[in-house]
Structure 1
């Protein structure tokens, strides 16, 4: 298995990983403008990008996922709740669904809270073990923090969903599970994010302050100090729902 984490200027973390032996790769949370990087990494690794995934419809940056998928001829994936909301074709992700990229397996976990459509991706490398190795947590769980719950306009209801997603879906995974979030320090998508770009569930359970709070205290805490919304959020969401204008390669 190969694995790349790509930091973007707006503190977004994108991911590129897959099975070199069977020449298949997965791109996750691609930022617009980074499409060429993924294509070049695929060329260097001698793999084909077979899956392009966004963990949710982003509000802080324009997604490069649809454009990358168009360029490489791969399907673009979003959670199924976006049907009728997104104005272009995509492949629907369902809770419990498994995607295969050679010896790399990706299991979909629906984790609403940051947004209604948020998913996490549980990744297994069959060359190492049958058990999952790491989880891409999108904007649900960060290193040292959790995702903001206000972008859908229902702060306390979404905070309650976020608590349930964390405690029923993510924190029940093995403690040694590595986590790779969608952002690091500097992002507007959460409060108190660490600059460290990865952690483990065991470390977060012990040191992430909100994860040890009871439900009501958690809801109060994550709705009490919400930062200003991302710059130009309405336009970004509109673009991500509409889809980008295709870029002609020169």
Structure 2
């Protein structure tokens, strides 16, 4: 749940489908209810915004009232973040040795996710204040929480994008001794600098490679969003009257690149599949 809220597009659809298929009827009902709630919350908000922009609610309609579904959604996510933090550290299972146990959801990560979410909420509040003419704030200031949010995205993804994946054989050749003879300080140092996998054909290597590629894609998307925000602010706060197609051009370029990258990934998967089984 925490991963889905923090990074909705990082969830593996196959993993999600498998978890749903293997869950109980009660859990499936809960999941289905949550998805219905999310769908209604997502769809009703742009509907209300369109009605507001078209003047259906009248000239004195409040944007804070129009965005009520958004505030409910924010309150729900905030409650979830607080609940996850109050759970405390995850206890080590009995079957895992203490030296091998790593908390999959450390407290630092939970607070970091909460801080990122609060930046988005702050941005939403500033936009509502601006649109309701309650605060005469420049758009460059209103978008400041988004700058920080994008900076935290780069902070998260940059180490993953630069991650070096090495095999056990590579390490043994570099240090001139078997991996079993590595000292604990050596293993700790290697773990900080590299992602060690048994070999290039193992599932661990494939997972690490996917994580690295996904992080690079996320960085590219983040940079395009930054460019878009800069162009948008020039349009809103500056004395320019650019065509809105030009303002949104970073999104058009990013969309084309995403489609090209997905097509290339599909072609690579198809090529690898044909190599393994030419009869397909």
- Compare relative contact order (CA 8 Å, sep 6+) and give the higher one, 1 or 2: 1
Please indicate, yes or no, whether the TM-score normalized by the shorter chain is above 0.5. no
The answer to which structure has the higher strand fraction is 1
Alignment TM-score, normalising by the size of structure 1: 0.28
The answer to which structure has the higher helix fraction is 2
Q: Please say which structure displays the higher CA radius of gyration.
A: 2
